[in-house]
Amino acid sequence: MLTPENSPKVSIEVEMKKSYLDYAMSVIIGRALPDVRDGLKPVHRRILFAMSELKNDWNKPYKKSARIVGETIGRYHPHGDSAIYDAIVRMAQDFSLRYPLINGQGNFGSVDGDPPAAMRYTEIRMMRISHELLKDIDKETIDFVPNYDESTEEPSVLPSRVPNLLINGSSGIAVGMATNIPPHNLSEIVNALTELIDNPDLSIPELMQFLPGPDFPTGGIIYGIDGIIKAYQTGRGIIRIRAKVSIEKEKKKGGTEIIVVSELPYQVNKARLIEKISALIKAKQLEGIRYARDESDRRGMRIAIAVKKDYQAEVILNKLYKHTQLENTFGIIILAIVNNRPELLNLKQALVHFIDHRKLIIVRRTRYDLRKAEERAHILEGLKIALDNLDEVVALIRKSRTPPEAKQGLIDKFNLTDIQAQAILDMRLQRLTGLEREKINAEYDQLLKDIAWYKEILGSEQIVFNIIKDELLEIKEQFGDKRRSEITSDTKQISMEDMIVEEDMVVTISNGGYIKRTPLSIYQSQHRGGKGKTAMETKDQDFLAHVFVASTHHNFLFFTNMGQVYWCKVYDIPQAGRVSRGKAIVNLLNFTENEKLATVLPVEEFTPGHFVIMATKNGLVKKTDIIAYSRPRTNGIRAINLVPGDELISARITDGTHNIFLASCLGKSIRFHESDIRPSGRTSRGVKGINLSAGDRIVGMEVLSYGETLFVATENGFGKRTSINEYTLQARGGKGLITIKTSARNGLVVSILLVEDDDDIILLTESGKLIRLHVNNISKISRNTQGVKLMDLDDGERITAAVRLPEKEEAKNPELDKLPKQQPLIKE
């Protein structure tokens, strides 16, 4: 009896380490990971063996699932019945296994995530392909081991003529490791195996000519082969799977487009996918969708996603790929048990292990068949001796008093073995007929041929390989089918630009925080002095604050008055009618309190060596390489460090070789070369650009890279053009020159533009009106003057912004005679 005094002393650290390792290996070997040879985990192997023992064959009547579960628990797998039934259910689901191993009758779940019926309601039997996993198990091809209570024996592995590990895949989480092997096409696996048998030196890329990649039971499209190549070469890789979709038109006249999903990525829950799409529609994260509903029936899967009028189905589909599981990833980990140890395998190693397994099975099967054939031939040799000496044998038996005496007499007289003598004694009298004697001779001759063939097999490795190939080709002929998953080598992400028509847009932003984009083509040129068109319907105390023109394909940097910068695409801005207010800007840009949009820069691409020039309300300027602003975060990044009371007014893109022009609200301006501004970091403060008088502030900045004249607009609707040559080059930080008189008639300066004679200009008022003017209709006068009337304003109305529209021929829009020909400059 153990007592505290005589009990062994064990370090808790050592004991914990040993116990945990024992537990870990038990989980790894005995539960979570498949064997590389038959591709089965212990629970699946035990289920199939129990079904085989109960003669629950593919061509026999179904048996209750509960019967199989009980047999498996009682004899082989002493775990919970739910774990065993879950394994049975998965082996019966045609959307989980590429080649199901169990034929189920009843409710075994669905792709919608519906649970299966209880085991007492469902019935099962083995699929025909399952017999190929168990074939020759009775020919001493594999080792049997004691079951959990040593009351019987169970197979340590199945003979498996089918490469089950790869055709059905496997997934499992062990202790400190996991496996996730995708299913493959049986025909392709067989092709790869037979080629590898013929050419053992084949490389993995060469094997991929026969086995291009996984083949999922639910189909779908595998995008890109890089992940497949990496997984096959290293055992780990990630592949992208997309749903198979088509775009249909509604049958009714003027019907909108419908996105139809016919195949889903592997292991995607259809019901949850539709719920996710509906939730995104409700949260307004997916615009342009009328409904998403399940129209699946007995003919197959069909998810219908109706697109609203004026929206492109391709654009909606791309957003669905981005935000839902219509595009999903599958992380491949080819981890399996090899010689009782977990091992990460590449494709070739997995195939070689199966070939080695089949080689051993065939050798052991042949040895068994040879032994049985030799044993039978031995008996037949004794029977032939007896038939050749029939009268003497009969006489000897008749005069023997007991069977042992007769047996011994036969052994002594005819020099027989104990087995042969017993066979003679057991022989029926009917075998003494002439016909039966011929059968014995024929059987003996055939056995001699079989024995010779078995010995030939055991003496030639090449014959063994030929048998493996022949059996694989039989499997392919019987169970092979066409590939379901399409593989495309195109690894390029589908971009919005590929699906959106490139056109010029007028983007308007109101002071109240509403933004929209409208095709530029809806605005026609008008004569100077006209009333203009309404560009945005505004409410009380709201007015049009910003406007710019750019292509739908451009990137945009949104700079705010507080020195932050945000990133967006023009096509991400909602399109609306000419008089619509648009959408609240807070749904696009994550502004903080009191943060307002200062300017927007269209950027086709972020090119090193180009700079962002910024100007603040207090006359500071700053130059920073554009790469510093190429990857803003969702909540924006710092563009410039501002002192209290200062605001960012404008920003432009340059290449480092231009002159900078600043203008103030009191009519002052300065021109200097940008080389006067030393490049600085993203969060720096900048240097002085102009020395402002008290009460003055900067209203605009231009980079002198375009235009021969400077256009100036004042808040009361007056303006003019002045030759740029009248503004002499000065040093940065000076007082500047007068650019227009800010009299009571004119009011303060609101905007400056660099223009040419063949340009058009858009003027906007705070009430939302817009007028488009030809520049050559605006007087060109000297610098120190008041200008001419540009727009007829109502009482109390003010001009807030102006935009230049450079010349661009556009035959497809006869309404317009001039449209932008380059990235526009943004005014406020």
CA angle at 280 for the pair 279 and 284, rounded to the nearest 5°: 115
Catalytic residue status for 514 = no
Q: Residue 178, Cα to own-chain centre: how many angstroms?
A: 20
Task: Using the CB atoms, write b or e for 728-738: b if 16+ within 10 Å.
Answer: eebebbeebbe
**Residue ranges of E strands in 373-513:** 486-488, 504-510
Nearest 10 degrees: Cα torsion 598, 604, 609, 615:
-10
Task: Calculate the alpha carbon distances from 463 to 141, 366, 449, 468, 822 in Å.
Answer: 18, 12, 16, 9, 74
Angle between helical axes of 403-414 and 418-426 (0-180°, round to 10)? 120
Task: Calculate the alpha carbon distances from 371 to 88, 270, 418, 500 in Å.
Answer: 37, 55, 17, 74
Residue with tokens 């090193």: 608
Residues in Cβ contact with 163 at an 8 Å cutoff, skipping those fewer than 6 apart: 39, 186, 189, 190, 193, 351, 354
Question: Of 20, 76, 85, 121, which is the active-site residue?
Answer: 121
Tokens representing 707 are 């235009």
Nearest to 511 by CA among 547, 556, 555, 550: 547
CA 27, 29, 31, 33 torsion: positive or negative?
positive
Helix (H) or strand (E) holding 366: helix 347-388
Query: CB–CB of 380/444 below 8 Å?
Result: yes
State how beta strands 769-774 and 533-534 pair: antiparallel
Nearest 10 degrees: Cα torsion 246, 251, 254, 258:
-30
Residues in Cβ contact with 152 at an 8 Å cutoff, skipping those fewer than 6 apart: 75, 146
Residues, the chain, total?
Answer: 828
Helix (H) or strand (E) holding 349: helix 347-388
Beta sheet of 257-263, edge-to-edge order: 244-249, 257-263, 303-307, 289-294
Query: CB–CB of 359/370 below 8 Å?
Result: no
Query: CB–CB of 596/561 below 8 Å?
Result: yes
H and E: helices and strands count for the chain = 17, 41
What is the set of active-site residues?
121
